[in-house]
Amino acid sequence: MTLYDQLPALVVAVLLFTAPIAYMLRMHGFPWAAATAAVVTSFIVACSLAATAIGGETIIYEMGGWPAPYGIVLHIDALSALMAMLITGASSAALIFGAKSLADEVGEETAPAFFAAWLLCTAGLVGMVITGDAFNIFVFMEISSLSTYVLISAGPDRRALISTYRYIVMGTVGATFYLIGVGFLYMVTGTLNTADLGARVGQVEDIRLVLVAAGFVSVGLAVKAAVFPLHSWMPNAYTFAPNAVTVFIAAASTKVSLYVLIRVDYAIFQNSIANHEVQLTLFLVPLGVMALFAGSLLAIYEKNLKRLLAYSSVSQIGYIALGIAMTSVAGLTGAIVHMFNHGLIKGGMFMAVACLALRYRTVNVANLAGAGKAMPWTMAAFVMGGLGLIGVPLTPGFISKWYLVLAALEKGWLGALLVAVILISSLLAVIYVWKVIEVAYFREPRANAVPVTEEAPMVMLIPTWIVVLTGIWFALDTSVSVGLASIAAKTLLGVAL
Amino acid sequence: MMTIVFSLFLLTMLVIVAVAILRTENLFTAVMLSGIFSLIMAANFFVLDAADVALTEAVIGAGISTVLFLGALALTAEYDRSPPVGTWVPLLTSSALGGVIIFATFQAPRLGDPSAIVHQHVAPWYLEKTPELIDVPNVVTAVLASFRGYDTLGEVFVVFTACIGVMALLGRVRPRRDSIKEGEFKKATDNLRHHLIPRVVGKMLVPFIVLFGLYVQFHGDFGPGGGFQAGALVAAGVILYSLVEGGVRGRELVPEWFSSVLVALGAFTYTSVGVASMLMGGRFLDYSVLAHDPVHGQHLGILVIEAGVGMTVAGVMITIFHAFSRRGIR
């Protein structure tokens, strides 16, 4: 076998191989360096997989050499490749960006465990998106969840522990629901391979167990994806995690649960349950619409900048849920592109927030007065991200909203209503982004405040701007992001490419 | 017939114990009852002919979890003092959830029905092909270690991650000195030294437990067992030694640095087998390429990865136990 044939396994194997090494070798600076090297390698491999997948090709890699459905296979198509690129890219960017801030926040003694957890988290998330096995998804979900708890609890504030505890409870409920659903599916089909499940679920005579399984899987994944109103674990988890960790998990982690939701619903249930479109619409459209409004409103009234962005994520996840619920090529393309684009936007914004936090020692919006003058580059990056959240043309957010609006217009009067909802929530996004801009640019710092005169260090600014510019790149040249997403959408819906 | 009566008895006991756990406010009682719960569960698995699972449940659920719970209890308090919250909504939610599951299981195939779909698809293939492809009598081992070896690799990393998590919590946060009472755990760890009978009997048991662990480790291909159970058994032996001889002596026997390195080393061993099979021209975790003969390669691969599993599991249990016992004494 050539190296090229081994790439699908390498994308996750390199991370799993490095994690124990990073944990065992307790040299100064080594864990960070090893983690960064492994994650960047994995990112390069993911990019080369995407290059194959963009031709519409699906790569099957048999783990242990055993064919499906007896063994576990990796199943990498356009959707998997796009997600793998997002996860490893976000992980690399956050690690490089956080080189200094993580060293301060984590400390020498706990660094090996922390960076091993970081590697495991990346491996868990990548493992979930490349596998073609429903139970294997659960195994890697466990790895990613447990390691995310470790990463969040490393936050400097003691409240990080309470937030982690809440997340553990909710995350475990979500994962257990998923497992119960997969158990029922195994009971009626005798297989765990996703493709095989898709073929065999349709042959089940009595659909009752399948329906219950679909319910458990969907609700469990909605909890893990922080779909409103199951988002309660998420804002505080983002707020109290170390800044670089927030960048990574905000960009990648909830998206992976949405990915699994798409994969399971479309690859397994779509063809086998009659009227599955209606069920999906009834489940996700109300939740999506509620998420758009509730998330935006909570963001408008929020004083802590990190939590504000977290609530904004709740509303942005609403867009993705709407796109998934439309069961059309345009809707699904919009949802998938928005997963990718929102990852880029939010990653960049949380990087800017980390820069602000470094100099201002606080992330309260009210205390950031004068940041526009003191830290022009950082605030410019933040504004670029904000424009993306609103969906202004020439930002990545515009592309995904464009596809969502196109998809909604296909749906008649309900679609017109959804377009109105999307527009109103974009206006709400203007309000919460403006709230920050107004304070940062137009308000004078308080007289008794310690003046901030220094811009963030270059080691943080450059990665931030690379992410921001990548976002603009994907807004101008959509051949990769929309290209992969539309192939993915067509494959999932069984439309000819 | 006997099986049905026995199952009914076990399941009834299970419900009674579960309700008792919910109702008690004494956490010590709850911990003990949950140990009993696990033991009944293990018996249940055994009745269902799942000997591997039963062994794991008995060692981990009834044995080691109970000790770890007690350790956690020693660091906090004995009584549940959380104020009663509105119990109606959770009760309704759980009842509805239980109702849905019961509703679904009416459609489930009868227990042990050979014509059930689960027994018709991949299972016959495993039974038929295992002697030819892997040649080990215990098909469960063949499925876990080879056919679905990638899942097992994932599980080992779950255990590794859990260890990192517990150590991050217990190793880092320094509590105020007065916040820890001289808990029961201190008694459990150190004062057993002054109880002659448990000490003598316990010490006599340790070598046998460890020996049985090694037997389960290397006999996993032939009978119930394997790395998970063996690791837990060896750890149980070390923990028993620490309990009767005191935490300090326990940490002299297996130093903390050693047990925590063991966790990573086990995961590393497992992944290395995968990488080695890649380097030798096979796919990740394809043990067939490890030796000239594919079946020998499978044997070799399974032997090494089971050793990795055992190292990680034993390491995790001992590390977590030490972390608790050290904090209980401080």
Angstroms from A365 CA to nearest CA on chain B? 30
List the structure tokens of B181: 């009472």
Domain of residue A324: give its range. 282-497
Instruction: Specify if B96 maps to a domain.
Output: no
Last residue of a domain, one of B62, B80, B98: B80
| Mean pLDDT confidence for B199-216 | 89
Residue A300 main-chain phi, psi, to 5 deg:
-65, -40
Residue in chain A closest to B173 (alpha carbons) equals A158
Instruction: Specify if B99 maps to a domain.
Output: no
Q: What is the predicted pLDDT for the residue at B180?
A: 43
Q: Long-range contact list for A386-393, CB < 8 A, 24+ apart?
A: A386/A349, A386/A429, A386/A433, A386/A436, A386/A437, A387/A433, A388/A341, A388/A344, A388/A345, A388/A471, A388/A475, A389/A312, A389/A316, A389/A345, A389/A349, A389/A429, A389/A433, A390/A426, A390/A429, A390/A430, A390/A433, A391/A426, A391/A429
Selected residue with higher pLDDT from B184 and A256: A256
Rounded Cα gap, residues B184 and A173, in angstroms: 32
Q: Specify whether A375 is located in the same domain as A446.
A: yes
Angstroms from A140 CA to nearest CA on chain B? 6
Rounded Cα gap, residues A35 and A46, in angstroms: 16
Cβ contact, residue pair B147, A127, below 8 Å:
no
Closest CA to A225 of A335, A367, A148, A321: A321
Q: How many C-beta atoms surround the C-beta of residue A26 within 10 A?
A: 15
Instruction: Specify if B279 maps to a domain.
Output: yes
Last residue of a domain, one of B51, B80, B109: B80
Q: How confident is the model at residue B278 (pLDDT cuts 50, 70, 90)?
A: very high
Taking contacts as CB-CB distances below 8 angstroms, the residues of chain A near B264 are: 19-21, 23-24, 116
User: pLDDT digits over A414-459, tens only?
Assistant: 888 889 999 999 999 999 999 999 999 988 887 777 777 788 889 8
Q: Specify whether A254 is located in the same domain as A288.
A: no
- Chain B stretch 16-55, residues whose beta carbon is closer than 8 A to a beta carbon of chain A: none
Q: Specify whether A270 is located in the same domain as A286.
A: no
Q: Specify whether A138 is located in the same domain as A8.
A: yes
CB neighbour list of residue B291: distance below 8 Å, 6 or more residues apart: B297, B299, B300
DSSP result, B17-56:
HHHHHHH--BHHHHHHHHHHHHHHHHHHHHHTT-HHHHHH
Identify residue A458 by its one-letter amino acid code.
M
Taking contacts as CB-CB distances below 8 angstroms, the residues of chain A near B97 are: none
Residue in chain B closest to A135 (alpha carbons) equals B151
Number of structural domains found in chain A: 2
Cβ contact, residue pair A208, B104, below 8 Å:
yes
ipTM of the complex: 0.94
Taking contacts as CB-CB distances below 8 angstroms, the residues of chain A near B283 are: 1, 6, 9, 61-65
Using DSSP's 3-state secondary structure scheme, residue A176 falls into: helix
User: pLDDT digits over A378-413, tens only?
Assistant: 999 999 999 999 988 889 999 999 999 999 988 888
Rounded Cα gap, residues B279 and A76, in angstroms: 22
Q: Specify whether B266 is located in the same domain as B165.
A: yes
Q: Specify whether B153 is located in the same domain as B32.
A: no
First to last CA, chain A: 30
List the structure tokens of A228: 């409103």
Rounded Cα gap, residues A20 and A24, in angstroms: 6
Using CA atoms of A375, A378, A379, A384 in order, give the dihedral in degrees to the nearest 10: 160
Q: Specify whether A286 is located in the same domain as A159.
A: no
Selected residue with higher pLDDT from A269 and B173: A269
Q: Specify whether B73 is located in the same domain as B140.
A: no
Instruction: Specify if B105 maps to a domain.
Output: no
Instruction: Specify if B111 maps to a domain.
Output: no
Q: Specify whether A240 is located in the same domain as A291.
A: no
Angstroms from B318 CA to nearest CA on chain A? 17
Cβ contact, residue pair A13, B278, below 8 Å:
yes
Rounded Cα gap, residues A258 and A317, in angstroms: 9
Last residue of a domain, one of A224, A257, A274: A274
Instruction: Specify if B56 maps to a domain.
Output: yes
Instruction: Specify if B85 maps to a domain.
Output: no
Selected residue with higher pLDDT from B328 and A416: A416
User: pLDDT digits over B50-95, tens only?
Assistant: 888 898 888 888 888 888 888 888 777 777 666 666 678 888 988 9
Closest CA to B325 of B217, B241, B201, B212: B241
Domain of residue B283: give its range. 136-330
CB proximity B99 to A under 8 Å: no
Q: Specify whether A380 is located in the same domain as A455.
A: yes
Which residue, among B161, B169, B289, would best test binding to A if mutated, counting the most A CBs under 10 Å from its CB? B161
Rounded Cα gap, residues B170 and A147, in angstroms: 16
Instruction: Specify if B117 maps to a domain.
Output: no
Last residue of a domain, one of A274, A290, A320: A274
Q: How many C-beta atoms surround the C-beta of residue A445 within 10 A?
A: 17
Residue in chain B closest to A215 (alpha carbons) equals B100
Query: What sign has the CA pseudo-torsion A352, A358, A364, A365?
Result: negative
Using DSSP's 3-state secondary structure scheme, residue A195 falls into: helix
Q: Specify whether A207 is located in the same domain as A136.
A: yes
Last residue of a domain, one of B80, B100, B121: B80
Number of structural domains found in chain B: 2
Least CB-CB distance to A146: which of B117, B147, B162? B162
Q: Specify whether A171 is located in the same domain as A205.
A: yes
